Chain A
Amino acid sequence: MNPFDPQATEAALRLKDAAGGGKVTVISLGADSARDSIKHALAMGADEGVLLSDPGFDGIDNFQTAVALARAIQKVGEFDLILMGRQAADWDMGVVPTGVAQLLGLPAVTIAKAIEANGPTIKVERVLDDGFQTVETTLPAVVSVSNEFGEPRYPQLRQIMLAAKKTVQVWSAADIGLEAGQLGAANRWLPLEALYVPKVESNVEIIEGDSPEEKAHNLALKLRAAKLV
């Protein structure tokens, strides 16, 4: 599961708890790991799942993913709030939540650390580069959740057992109205020309000494000699 996804699920469940009701639908796109993500979310307490599964999703980029998710959300139909993790651990792009919002014509609020539902509006506390911001918007809306949101709940035994009975629908690309020309790596909006692991050379000088104090002394001398202190 992408590291920020449990936080998005946690955000949904906290709102459901605060409202004393409501339905949480979990949508995930991909192969086995997506199925596991849905299972985990259901075990946390989500009500139902939708798995988007199709060979045409192999090798797609974030933009194709945003299109697929937007279509799936439209097919699910009724919703007040769409919650997503701020970015995924493979491409680290952080564009899908804003993309889904743009495609659905909805307001987007990103990097949320707290959400308060007030009927037709939500108040969201978000994290900025150099501080925090509180914003308000009307529903429906898209909110992306960041690690500052806090610990996601651990699946309890009762929920794990209930989860086995919850419905998970499986939709193909055709089910959500996507055509061949929108699928596969060949139709990426941002073609991947090269992917590699950069070589890291190690040139470390381990500062020795008979005691931590002596090592600190030797380090200070090295730093002074290098004009760094």
Chain B
Amino acid sequence: MAGILVIAETSDGAVSPISFEVLGAAHKLSSEGGGAVSAFVAGTEAEAKELIAHGADTAFAATNPTLASATADAFLPAVEAAIQQSGADIVLLGQTSFGRDLGPALAFKLGSAIAMDCVELKIDGGRLRATRSAYGGNARAEVTWKGAVQVATVKAKTFDALPADVSRSGSVTTLDAAGEPRVKVLSTEKASSEGVKIEDAPVVVSGGRGLGDPSAFKMLEELSHLLKGATGASRAACDLGWYPPSQQVGLTGKTVSPSLYIAVAISGASQHMAGMSGSKNIVAINKDGDANMVKVSRFAIVDDYKKVVPALIEEIKKLN
């Protein structure tokens, strides 16, 4: 078949982990007859070689300095050159700030469609078929494409990256093209998160509107620190200003898949579930025994978190 092009992204000079996951997805499609895997990155030969080590058969290193703006305007001509040279008819990106902007812009530019935040991808009759969630996470939709080039963004933590194999060989092509950005980036502030990044944390303790008071996050932080994890929040809690949006877990927030997710006073609406249903083990602490979060969890305590959480902290300290 025509082939799969992965648009990789970088952060702090290295290829972002989600791009390796997307390469994993591309590898799966390739094994189903989707064709060869190529990858595109705004960077040097070093980043291109990393992509080959993680499963790309060929890599495009786009070197134009304008790409540092990370805007769709700058990337489109370079990506289009890579599509043309690779002959790919499937283009994959990660569902990230970058992918959410570049993906749709690319699809419309090509006169084709894009499926966002896909949780499943397969080759069916020589063409791509994708599964994604809809209706706030309540439903699943399976889609195909009318247009020639099939663009999709891939949900984080859904596909596994291949283990890096530096002995893998592949060709690297440098691309010079870039577009003129019409949007000027004035400043970027990274959210200051002390400790583990929530997407990578083995344990996440999250709080919702049911906490009743933002000061409750202090005890959730104490619990997550004790468990060497991160603290998250539902969108409702973030909208109330109780916790920073960078820690929001959900459909329009982060996707996490820790070994242990402790949901404190969170009802478990589908939009929240969309961000953490991949957690290996869920614990719910909620006064409402009928809450959806209680139903989907492995262990649940139906009681007042104000009493349960401090006691749980003491119990875990005793165990250690």
Q: Tell whether A and B belong to one assembly.
A: yes
- For A193, the chain B residues whose CB sits under 8 A away are 129, 142-144
A204–B296 contact, CB under 8 A? yes
Question: Would you give the shortest CB distance from A44 to chain B, in whole angstroms?
Answer: 19
Contact of A114 with B by CB under 8 A: no
- Is there contact, CB below 8 Å, between B108 and A195? no
Taking CB atoms, residues of chain A closer than 8 Å to B114 are: 93, 95, 190
Name the interface residues of B223-255: CB closer than 8 Å to any CB of A.
227, 235, 238-239, 245-246, 251-252, 254
In angstroms, Cα B109 to Cα A11, docked, is 28
Tell me, yes or no, whether B188 is within 8 Å of chain A by CB: yes
Closest beta carbon of chain A to B245's beta carbon, Å: 6
B301 lies within 8 A of A222 (CB): no
Question: Per-residue CB proximity of A107-138 to B under 8 Å, as 1/0?
Answer: 11111000000000001000111111111111
Closest CB of chain A to B217's CB: distance in Å?
A: 18
Shortest Cβ distance from A117 into chain B, in angstroms?
A: 15
Shortest C-beta distance, B287 to chain A (Å), equals 11
Q: How far is the CA of A107 from the CA of B107 in the complex (A)?
A: 16
B308: which A residues are within 8 A, CB to CB? 212, 215-216
Q: A131-B188, A136-B184, A193-B142 are in contact. Are A223 and B108 (CB under 8 A)?
A: no
Task: Decide if B300 touches A204 in the complex (CB within 8 Å).
Answer: yes
Docked complex Cα distance between A110 and B116 (Å):
15
| A192 within 8 Å of B (CB atoms) | yes
Residues of B within 8 A of A216 (CB): 301, 308-309, 311-312, 314-315
| Chain B residues within 8 Å of A132, by CB | 188-189, 191
In the complex, are the beta carbons of B100 and A94 less than 8 A apart?
Answer: yes
Tell me how far the C-beta of B244 lies from the nearest C-beta in chain A, rounded to whole angstroms: 9
B227 touches A229 (CB 8 A): yes
Q: Do A190 and B146 touch across chains, with their CB atoms under 8 A apart?
A: yes
Interface residues of B in 140-168 (CB under 8 A from A): 140-147
Complex contact A189–B146 (CB within 8 A):
yes
Bound state CA distance, A192 and B144, in angstroms?
7
A98-B104, A204-B297, A212-B311 given as contacts; is B141 within 8 A of A192 (CB)? yes
Contact B146 A191, beta carbon cutoff 8 Å: yes
Residue of A nearest to B309 (CB): A216
> Contact: A136 with B183, CB < 8 Å?
yes
Check A102/B289 contact, CB under 8 A, given A130-B191, A133-B188, A216-B301.
no
Please report which residues of chain A, range 172-216, place their CB below 8 angstroms from some CB of chain B when the two chains form the complex.
Answer: 188-198, 200, 202-207, 211-213, 215-216
Secondary structure class of chain B's binding surface, majority of residues: mixed
Asked if B97 contacts A129 (CB within 8 A), the reply is: yes
Query: Considering only CB atoms, which chain A residue lies closest to B146 in the complex?
Result: A189
Q: In the bound complex, do residue A107 and residue B182 qualify as a contact, i.e. CB atoms below 8 Å apart?
A: yes
Task: Find out whether the CB atom of A123 lies under 8 angstroms from the CB atom of B252.
Answer: no
- Nearest to A93 among chain B residues (CB) is B116
Which residue of chain B lies nearest to A220 when distances are taken between CB atoms in the complex?
A: B315
Q: Is A147 an interface residue (CB 8 A)?
A: yes
The answer to whether A205 and B298 touch across the interface, beta carbons within 8 angstroms, is yes
**Given known A99-B108, A110-B101, A200-B295, contact A189–B260 (CB-CB < 8 A):** no
How far is the CB of B320 from the nearest CB of chain A, in Å?
8
**Is A228 in contact with B259, judged by CB distance below 8 angstroms?**
yes
B81 part of interface (Cβ distance < 8 Å): no
Cα A204 to Cα B297 in complex, Å, equals: 5
Q: Complex formed: what's the CA distance from A98 to B101 in Å?
A: 7
Q: State which of B25-33, B41-49, B83-91, B131-139 sits at the interface with chain A.
A: B131-139
- List the A side residues contacting B307 at CB < 8 Å: 211-213
Q: Which residues does chain A contribute within 8 Å of B113, judged by CB atoms?
A: 61, 63, 189-190
Q: From known contacts A66-B108, A110-B101, infer whether A219 and B146 are also in contact, taking CB-CB under 8 Å.
A: no
Contact B135 A89 (CB under 8 A): yes
For the complex formed, measure the closest distance between the CB of A72 and the CB atoms of chain B, giving whole angstroms.
17
Return 14 A-B CB contacts under 8 Å, by A number.
A92-B137, A92-B251, A108-B72, A129-B254, A130-B190, A134-B186, A193-B144, A195-B140, A205-B298, A205-B300, A215-B308, A216-B301, A216-B312, A223-B316
> Which 4 interchain pairs have the tightest Cβ spacing?
A216-B311, A212-B307, A220-B315, A102-B108
Q: Which residues of B contact A (CB under 8 A)?
A: 72-73, 96-97, 100-101, 103-105, 107-109, 112-117, 129, 133-147, 182-191, 197, 227, 235, 238-239, 245-246, 251-252, 254, 259-260, 281, 283-284, 289, 294-304, 307-309, 311-312, 314-316, 318-319
- Besides A93-B116, A200-B296, A226-B281, 18 more A-B contacts (Cβ < 8 Å) are A92-B135, A92-B251, A95-B116, A101-B105, A127-B245, A133-B187, A133-B188, A134-B185, A137-B183, A146-B252, A189-B147, A192-B141, A195-B141, A204-B300, A212-B303, A220-B312, A220-B316, A228-B281
